[in-house]
Amino acid sequence: MTHKITHGAQALLLLAALSAAGCSLRAAPLECSTTEDCARFEAEDGVFYQCSADDTCAVDSAVECRADSDCGVGAGCTAQNTCEAVVFEPDAGPDTGDEPDADAGPEGCTTNQGCIDSVGEGSACGADGACFSLLGENDECERVHYTQPANEVENVVYFGTMLPLVEPFGTVIGRPIENAVQLAVDDFNKAGGLPDGRKIAWISCDSKGNANVARAAATHLVDTVGVPATLGPLFSEPFIDVASSVTNPRDVLSFQPTGTSPQIGGLFLPKKLVWRNIATDVYQGHAAGKWIQDTGLTKILVLYKDDLYGADLRSEVAKLLDADDALDVHYVKYTNPIAAADPTPAGLGAEYGATIQDAMRPAGGTEFDPEVVYIIGTNEGAIAASAYFQVFQALGLAAPAKIMLSHGAVPAMGDLATQFEANGLTQLIPLIDGVAPDIFDPTSTTYQSYFVKYTTTFDNAQPALASTTSFDAVISILLAMSAIPDGDPITGTNIAAQFPRLSDPAANDITFFETAYIGTARGRLAAGENIDLVGVSGELDYDSDTGEVYTQFINWKSDKNPGTGNWGIKQVQKLTFPNAPETTGGAWQAVE
């Protein structure tokens, strides 16, 4: 029996009880008091709103734009909020009264350094001899990184990323992945860079986890900077948007190190420009469904994020659960943080608490006390898990037997355990599991070498789980650039054509962090040999027919380091797919 429940506004019934439990649920506020309050809706669906007389946000059909980035290439946003074609003149820099620099004066520029000296950091000299902003006229990007100490700014190939660097994504996933990208670029450059001596200059853009913002950044990277390859956006929905509307049409390679939507695979053909090194949710859905079935419990609550990742993984896991007549499954959608009225952890906790309460105690409906809760989301999934525990405590219910987090929330399991311990709820920690693709083996010498270099480089910061696939993705892209035949331009199409040469099972392994591995790989590729990459996240067996990889899956538990007292995660079970790309024949087995 399967139910679909949508949440309403009955959370006030338990306001006092939840406040006592440490979670304050709020009454639904008025939508807006000013037009600026409606911006959250604009970020979600791309149309523009005004705050109406009844304090609700209504579509304003007279508004075409709020900023130049809303108008596309070659147009700008006027003071009347309409898009008009504009001609952008190069910025000649501030008028200091001195004679103009020879490299960046009124006649134009000849070097990047001349533009940096006259216009400022983040500028470069274009092919037309004019200075331009690498960060974008509307600050679509955040910074340009040149590898130190050489700081070569002239002889470079630009590479761009679109990562969610603001909260609630920044600390847990965006910034750690940004660190991994920097580490990979610096390692590649210090090993000599491209065969012709050019280095990689990296441009970091903040996608904010939003498709519209990511599209603007991608358009700048592709049309203005001319990057041949990009990494991200991280989440499936903005990635599909950007790949479909920007990178694929312009023959730019795009790489996804974290997004698992099956729909991404549909973008690969015919150009073969879309690649990823994390398994599709076809496998995660099967692994999660089997994990739930193996518990032997029958009352299941599936909470899923209101985005493409949540919808697709919910659909995949439902293929197993809905076919099992013994299960009573309730599916409940929760708000995407980018669309939340209050996207702070406290605000999300309150909103998710209301959603969960309505699912368990729907007004006029049947009460439902789940035995297993499966949360499909990214790092906000840990907030949903915490909100669930607060709700069942307030209701006076027994704890569920199991709570499971999808791979997007697994990196937050240690923080969740820390939070529970601080609140005297250590008895709840063993109830939480995570299921994720096998992209992280803490016992491997490759990962240990990566961990040491990462923590040493970034002041003892801990690498996020997804940083492994991101590091591997960047090294893969740059090695593919290195394999392009002499004289051929570095384009997305030419980079993509080299990917099959990186994962030839008949070739010699190139294992990341072994001595001079980048130089060895580059030398073999230059000699016409193929190689077989073994990255930080494991074997990088790129399938040249799909642009994807297949991996086994890991069941994770929270784990406290006896030496430091810090909470992390450990592997407890593995599920392999011996008949991949089919999902048949898989079985969970304990990790020895």
Give per-residue pLDDT as tens, 274-295.
999 999 999 999 999 999 999 9
- pTM (2 d.p.): 0.77
Domain boundaries defined on the chain: 2-26+281-438+561-590, 33-88, 139-278+440-495+512-528
Q: Any idea what the Cα angle at residue 489 is, between residues 488 and 494, rounded to 5°?
A: 85
Contact 583, 282 (CB under 8 A): yes
Q: What is the DSSP letter of 286?
A: H
Please state which of the four CATH numbers 2.40.40.20, 3.40.50.2300, 3.90.660.10, 3.30.230.70 is assigned to the domain occupying 2-26+281-438+561-590: 3.40.50.2300
Q: Residue 442: what pLDDT? A: 83
C-alpha 94 chain-centroid distance:
38
Q: Is pLDDT of 102 > 60?
A: no
3-state secondary structure 138-200: CCCCCEEECCCCCCCCCCEEEEEEEECCCCCCHHHHHHHHHHHHHHHHHHHHHCCCCCCCCEE
Phi, psi of 50 (to 5 degrees): -130, 155
Q: Residue 592: what pLDDT? A: 74
C-alpha 118 chain-centroid distance:
36
Q: Is pLDDT of 316 > 70?
A: yes
Number of residues written out for the chain: 592
Q: Is pLDDT of 412 > 90?
A: no
Taking all residues of the chain, what is their mean pLDDT, rounded to a whole number? 86
Q: Residue 5: what pLDDT? A: 33
pLDDT digits (tens, 9 = 90+) for 507-560: 999 999 999 999 999 999 999 999 999 999 999 999 999 999 988 999 999 999
Contact 338, 44 (CB under 8 A): yes
Q: Residue 479: what pLDDT? A: 98
Q: Residue 56: what pLDDT? A: 65
Distance CA 131, CA 133 (A): 7
Distance CA 206, CA 137 (A): 15
Distance CA 279, CA 261 (A): 9
Q: Residue 318: what pLDDT? A: 97
Distance CA 206, CA 141 (A): 6
Q: Is pLDDT of 17 > 60?
A: no
CATH architecture entry for 139-278+440-495+512-528 = 3-Layer(aba) Sandwich (3.40)
Please list the residues that pair with 119 across neighbouring strands. Answer: none
Distance CA 197, CA 138 (A): 32
Contacts 24+ apart (CB under 8 A), 115-124: 116/153, 118/92, 118/93, 119/91, 119/92, 119/93, 120/93, 123/91, 124/153
Dmax over CA atoms of the chain, in Å, equals 82
Distance CA 557, CA 414 (A): 9
Name the residue among 471, 435, 553 with its Cα closest to residue 185.
471
Q: How confident is the model at residue 32 (pLDDT cuts 50, 70, 90)?
A: low
Over residues 15-31, the mean pLDDT reads: 31
Q: How confident is the model at residue 73 (pLDDT cuts 50, 70, 90)?
A: very low
Please list the residues that pair with 278 across neighbouring strands. Answer: none
For residue 33 the two structure tokens come to 């008091």
Placement of tokens 């600390």 in the chain: 171
Q: Residue 94: what pLDDT? A: 34
What sign for the dihedral angle of Cα 380, 381, 384, 386? negative
Q: Residue 426: what pLDDT? A: 93
Q: Residue 70: what pLDDT? A: 62
Contact 112, 94 (CB under 8 A): no
Q: Note whether 2-26+281-438+561-590 and 139-278+440-495+512-528 share their fold.
A: yes
Q: How confident is the model at residue 477 (pLDDT cuts 50, 70, 90)?
A: very high
Higher pLDDT, 32 or 505: 505
